[in-house]
Amino acid sequence: MTITEKLSSGITIVELCGTIDASTAPELQRHQAISDPTRTIVIDLARLDFLDSSGLGAIIGAAHRKEESGANMLLSCMNQKVRRVFDITGTVRLFHIFDETAAAIDYATTLRKSQ
């Protein structure tokens, strides 16, 4: 798994590549932008190949912590394979999911303005 971080219009975009499973999930949890509960981020999943339940757990845990402190985690560009994991586990309703990263960034900036 590789994590790439970008900044666009003041919003952090975290791009996840490769595989997230029990062995890589802790690395994801430790990542600065993801673990910081006050930072609103967009996670770009376009190049994520595989996600299992512990990876899902890491993402959900981080999203919960962000929500508690008033920040958000938005997801974008989910491919069909990853979407299916979110779908069968019933976790889709916890997230705002966009089909392009630019739209997610727009949404994140409006969220920040409204706060």
Q: Footprint of another protein on this chain (CB under 8 A)?
A: 52-54, 56-58, 60-61, 80, 83-93, 95-100, 102-103, 106-107
Give me the torsion for CA of 23, 26, 30, 36, rounded to 10°. Answer: 130
Q: Where are the alpha helices (DSSP H) in 51-100?
A: 53-68, 80-88
Nearer to another protein, 68 or 99 (CB): 99
Cβ 89 to another protein shortest distance, Å: 4
Cβ 37 to another protein shortest distance, Å: 16
Cβ 2 to another protein shortest distance, Å: 22
Read off the tokens for 65. Answer: 């912590």
- Structural element, H or E, at residue 109: helix 101-114
